[in-house]
Structure 1
């Protein structure tokens, strides 16, 4: 009688473990001003968190929470370092827009410098993360004297892999502490 209910619960737990969590960060600057948006998305369509630059919330400070958060962040940092970041996928890494200064030669020099910095960023990210798509369309505008750009990065983490990674390195740290 309860067997179908148990199977449904087990199926939901398995689906929840293998779902992806996406964190999208978008930074926009232009003549209107500077704004940012941070979104947390599950299953690529279900938004669980959205923070925009004009809606800032103040956090309450807790005494015990800082210690726990520090321990968890330490475990995550250690796990990422040992795994070399390959548990986190960078789905999209994009910079689009235009820039302009008064001198055309300065525009060309800035464009070359930006391309070099972009390539260094792509090499660094592809070495430390699983890197999928990148787009660079940040060009000099010789007609207008305005600068506008949009920077977007989307991180994707499979929850099951992240939990396994954290559990493994937490157990290793406990074992190392007992042997010392």
Structure 2
């Protein structure tokens, strides 16, 4: 199976717990939908419990939110003939994939109500893409926001630090010289 570069965080207080292949296959069969490979990989690693983004794995609840989302999409007249997979409902936000895109790393879409005026009395339903271009990027940004950047990401920033250090030194020297000149002129 293809591996995706999810950033799974080892949090002793809140461990990721995955589903088995059998549990995923039973879920797919009950839903009557195919699951994107990236999503299957996520379920294997964090389907029962995720320390970042818990998804719905109860087939009855999934079918219910799937129908609710379909009604909402029909009202908005979007994704009419598209096969969708709703993976989570959080308050009034639906997280879903457009399976018709047929991508290995699917885009995560979010349908939610957005306030459209400053008085908070008018709302509009909108579909946005999850942070990043695909589901893997979305999960990794959540991990970065919750747990900070990794050592690898710090190492990738070393060239930037190497370039910034001489510029900072020059700036400090110039500022010091300017302050010194100002003091000398101020005394005369």
Common fold: TM-score over 0.5: no
TM-score normalised per structure 2? 0.20
Larger Rg: 2
Greater RCO structure (CA 8 Å; 6+ sep):
1
Determine which structure has the larger strand proportion and give its number: 1
TM-score normalised per structure 1? 0.21
